[in-house]
Structure 1
Amino acid sequence: MLSEMIKPEFIQLDVEALDWEDAIRRSAEPLLNGGKITADYIEKIIETTQTLGPYIVVTKHVALPHAPTQCGALDLAMGITTLKNPVVSGNESNDPVKYLFCMSAKDSESHLESMAELVNLLSDQRFYQILDTAEKPMDILNYIIKTE
């Protein structure tokens, strides 16, 4: 379940980022500090985005920073970062990015059910209201738990 991947300390609200690269670094920081990913994992996300373009931007205003498991994913986890000021990613139809869901999966299957839950949340306008008005990480996590 999605709520099992997300810890309150992986949720950051109103983060200031200079640009899309800084936003990725900041969104990945809690997973790095929590021992879920390596620093190489973050660099691989940035490198792949520079090479392939904004592949991590999955829908309007939403990015899902991730890299292949073998690039430094240590455990199943997801962080949620809301940006104080949205950043331009280069994905014209979905910019600017305001919400980042940094993900780490230790294999190619364990995260699939959680991803389906995330897709459902990303089609829920109430979820965006929660992201925008949350005063503390548990406001977001409680909403996710309620929807599961």
Structure 2
Amino acid sequence: MAKDVLSKDNIKLNVPLTGKEEAIRFTGEILVNGGYVDAGYIDKMFEREEMASTYMGNFLAIPHGTEDAKKNVFETGISVVTVPEGIDFGGGNLAKIFIGIAGKGNEHLEILSNIAIVCSEEENIEKILNARSEEEILDLFSEVG
């Protein structure tokens, strides 16, 4: 049976991370530990970040691998990490929510659009940042399906 794209194990709340590199690595390691990707995928996340920032606005960053990282992906998965203090993503951009994405084939495009829908609502950003349990995050994203 296929893994859940997002499970409680993939959600880490109120993590005290200090820098952009640490945040991307932490977000990627959840995907590695969950068996969604191999360790090489994290390098591809850094490569992707060098090409263009994955900061999306609204306190949200979506670190993910480059196009050629598909060989590093075993199964589609996402990780969600909240960092209430925020991390400077350059240009005065503060990221407090990190959503790591690994997609098999083109599945990441659908996931990205679902995340964009949830995170375009400022009240949802507040809900994510104020979440006290992984279930609250699961509920928020399950509504998008």
Q: Which residue of 2 is the match for residue 146 of structure 1?
A: 143
Count of matched residue pairs: 140
Confirm or deny: 8 A CA contact 1:14 1:84 kept in the other structure: yes
What's the TM-score once normalised by structure 2's chain length?
0.86
Q: Which residue of 2 is the match for residue 113 of structure 1?
A: 110
The C-alpha deviation readout for 1:69-91, integer Å capped at 9, x for no partner, is 3352221011111013211112x
The C-alpha deviation readout for 1:10-44, integer Å capped at 9, x for no partner, is 01101111200001111122211011111111122
Counterpart amino acid of residue 19 in structure 1: G
Q: Which residue of 1 is the match for residue 56 of structure 2?
A: 58
Superposition deviation, residue 6 in structure 1: 0.9
Question: Matched residues in 2 for 1:73 and 1:65: separation?
Answer: 14
Higher relative contact order (CA 8 A, sep 6+): 1
What's the TM-score once normalised by structure 1's chain length?
0.85
RMSD: 1.8
Matches within 5 A, 1:1-148: 4-49=4-49, 51-54=50-53, 56-68=54-66, 69-70=69-70, 72-90=72-90, 92=91, 95-107=93-105, 109-148=106-145
Confirm or deny: 8 A CA contact 2:70 2:103 kept in the other structure: no
Stretches of 4+ moved more than 3 A in 1? Answer: none
Identical positions, percent: 22
